Structure 1
Amino acid sequence: MHTLSRSDLTRLFASAFEGTPDLIVRSPGRINLIGEHTDYNNGFVLPAAISQAVYVAIRRREDDRIHLYAADYNERVSANTAALTPTGTWADYVLGVADQFQKAGHAVPGFDLVMTGNIPAGAGLSSSAAIECAVAFGLNELLGGGFDRLQLVKMAQAAEHAFAGVRCGIMDMFASMFGKKDHAMLLDCRSLEYRYVPLTMEGHHLVLFNSNVKHSLASSEYNVRRQECEEGVSLMQTEYPAIRDMRDVTLEMLAAFKGRMPVNVFKRCSYVVNENARLLAACDDLQSGDLAALGIKLNATHAGLSQAYEVSCPELDFLADAALAHPAVAGARMVGGGFGGCTINLVRDGFVDEVIGTVSDAYLQKMDKITEVYQVVTADGTSLL
């Protein structure tokens, strides 16, 4: 997965549309160290931008036509700025952002856009958010929109809600836009206050195993989990009216509702309350460089996602267990929305190749599937190339 250069993108644009683009934008994918499914509950998350990224090359047109080319799929989609509607394809991540600029009062002209990248789709690394952030950043530059990064993040999130039909939290877009190399971001998803936490990984590497089970967040279960959490908050507000979101709930409050709410709702709530607490403690681990303690928390998060939140799958559980069977792995858990995608693994220096070989062989033998492996390093956020 090599990093693409400006000349690579310029050539790609010329082959698709002839001529040269007005600008090229790079926007990274993200990992989330800990804090899964807490973002839409207005809790805390701890993401980091990664070197794998989406690239878009854009050129303004003189008419109202939008021509999109996804180089990795060799697919083209055309649309009209006067009638932007969801297509049910990858193009919605672009068109949805253009729609948000229109809703914000900007006359969006036609444009030609080429998209490529090296974020594996469906792996839980937020390729969709990276596309949305790249397009938002690019259109803002192209149109002189004057929006700041936070406004662009909110527009990217609204595009996902309106065009892709996924009621996602704000973390993925925020991490892509605000990423900083060698750091994770402690983000309060309610206030959107954030601070950078050092993520130097001394003596360890972050390794992702892709289950190659494709998930689709829009396919019901993600939205069901969100509804279950909202139901839990609503029930607890009858006794604790000051509660606004799950992050206001203590374990003691929740315990008082055991047996007074549906079993599944109680399980979802207990996971989220525990996960917020784990995340804040994990920040202390990173500040003190205690990666062994961080690893223990990653393991607890996977157990919660698998058993209480029920968004794992046999392939992800197997990958996490197979990795943890190796003494050089300090922690392993599934990442992303669930039902497929990747596990993230904290592996000690000097053992990366051995762990990769052992886990990959075991996965092939047990699941009859090949796992793709990515070593990730942190990177800066969305920028002009």
Structure 2
Amino acid sequence: MVGGLDIDRTRIGWWLVGLVLGAAVLYVVYSFVGTFVFGIFLYYATRPVYKRLRRRIRPASLAAATALFALALPVLLLMAYTAAIGLQEFNNIAKKTDIDGLQGAIQPYIDVSTLARSPEELLANPDPALIEEIGRSALGYLGFIGNAVLHLFVMIAIAFYLLRDDHRLSRFFRRQFGDEGGVAEAYVRAVDRDFNSIFFGNILNALLTGTIGAASYNTLNMFAPTELVIPYPTLLGLLTGAASLIPIVGMKLVYFPVSAYLGIETALADPAFLWFPALFFVVSLVVVDTIPDLVLRPYVSGRNLHVGLVMLAYIFGPLMFGWYGIFLGPMILVLVVHFVRIVLPELVAGEPIRPWAVDPTYLFDREPSAANAGETFGSGGSSAEVGETEAADAADSASADGTSASDETGADGSDGVETPPGRTDR
């Protein structure tokens, strides 16, 4: 009893310990927020592939490693190389224009980008002196490169353990924070669904489109007539990928003006080469614009967010937080939108919080029927795929502790019907 209040000093002490530990965790996350955010992006970008590999590859660790090192790592290295070439081209533009402020902000990255050389340059001139020059330059930026490799390792580690143990994390969350009304679970499911849409759909589409554009334009330049080339092809490809975040007209805002510029330049110089601007336009329309849109867009699992809000999140995120803002901005948008839709109406009304504060058809899918099972929230695939993945996870867990998968789940594997404890299936 302190001052007339019944205070449990032991409980207060543990609360203080918890606050200190929580503050330490928040400080670590804040110090490496870009690394953590990009690790979450890698998780959502590779999760659909992992769920399909998981049905054929065991254990789960091998499936997660395969998804990351066979898909994510090569794509990251290709994008890093493309970005380095794009920075070199941006530096060439900056030398001819008055953008010293922006150039000064990214000058350290421009310096490191000089390590990247085009493959045709190395193959056409296999001079040992050139290799030695690249090696000396790399040693000069050894600290920067080592720091980048460390962050890359942490990103891949975060994505790896999220892929392998996301089902365990989900069970822990439901046990520890689940409420009677299912509000927390409804909120997390809605957030998970839109994270999958944002990261696997929109951003991955933009990154891959930018890489395809850069490769296509550099290839076109190999066949371009003399003194008639695509200006800054790698940077142009990256701009095309970034513009794909703008619905419908995004990429066209980039390659339409460039096509017109090439057409006018060719018509004034030598009309016999007008086939090249036409070829550029066709490649941009078909290879860079249409094919990625038809192949990649169908994987977007849902478009429940207003496209204008998403576009603003992509714009203001990098402006406020830096390079990782392109991932963090949409994440904040998703968290805020679903809080406003699910929780805020009941908080304002002062009523008990329920997950059906808004139209329940928005929050929950209907239960899949025996004849036609639909997709489940946060699964990234069909319910059948999720069931197979969970069964495989149960089998891996069982092999580790000596129990069978059916013992862990309490179900008889012969008919898939749950058997109550203490009874046998007749």
Q: Indicate the TM-score class for this superposition, using the shorter chain for normalisation.
A: under 0.3
- Normalized per residue, which structure has more strand? 1
- Normalized per residue, which structure has more helix? 2
- Between Structure 1 and Structure 2, whose CA radius of gyration is higher? 2
